[in-house]
């Protein structure tokens, strides 16, 4: 049975650890800017979509070819389930095949809705809905 002194001992130790963690975070922030995020200043969906679309576009202004798109598809594949995994594997497999994957903004779907970003090679596509802000 857990007693009140057991709980006091447990939570008393946590307080010391939290204080140490906060001190470490303040120290580390000076070297790695761990609390800084440029996305904090991007409040609108269109602007964030423009930035993301440019980063994952193999023809984007970053000049890195399909590097960011490859990593993005890999990340989606790790986090998603179902059809999105199949689509991302197919698109990732086609990178570097000479068949371009195009990135389009505000592309209209067959149902009259709009994709914030659409990745497509002409045969298969992945629509991205961008929702900046807290996860609900």
The packing angle between helices 67-79 and 45-56, to 10°, is 110
pLDDT at 1: 81
Q: What is the mean pLDDT of residues 62-81?
A: 85
**pLDDT(83) > 80:** no
pLDDT at 103: 92
If one compares 43 and 53, the residue with the highest pLDDT of the two is 53
pLDDT band of residue 135 (cuts 50, 70, 90) is low
pLDDT at 7: 80
**pLDDT(76) > 80:** yes
Residue with structure tokens 């423009």?
A: 50
Tally Cβ neighbours within 10 Å of residue 10: 10
Q: What is the pTM of this model?
A: 0.62
pLDDT at 2: 84
pLDDT band of residue 53 (cuts 50, 70, 90) is very high
pLDDT band of residue 11 (cuts 50, 70, 90) is confident
Contacts of 94 (CB under 8 A, 6+ apart): 101, 121
Contact 95, 109 (CB under 8 A): no
Q: How far is CA 59 from CA 56, 72, 115, in A?
A: 9, 15, 19
Q: Which of 37-46, 47-56, 84-93 has the highest mean pLDDT?
A: 47-56
Fill in the DSSP letter of residue 107: E
CA-based torsion, 86, 114, 104, 46: positive or negative:
negative
Give the length of the chain: 136
């Amino acid at each position: 049975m857990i007693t009140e002194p057991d709980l006091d001992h447990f939570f008393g130790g946590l307080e010391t650890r939290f204080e140490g963690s906060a001190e470490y975070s303040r120290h580390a922030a000076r070297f790695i800017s761990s609390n800084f995020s440029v996305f904090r200043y991007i409040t609108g969906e269109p602007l964030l979509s423009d930035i993301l679309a440019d980063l994952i576009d193999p023809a984007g202004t970053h000049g890195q070819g399909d590097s960011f798109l490859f990593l993005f598809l890999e990340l989606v594949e790790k986090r998603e389930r179902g059809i999105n995994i199949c689509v991302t594997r197919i698109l990732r497999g086609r990178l570097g095949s000479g068949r371009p994957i195009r990135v389009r903004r505000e592309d209209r779907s067959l149902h009259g809705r709009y994709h914030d970003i659409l990745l497509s090679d002409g045969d298969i596509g992945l629509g991205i809905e961008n929702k900046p802000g807290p996860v609900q």
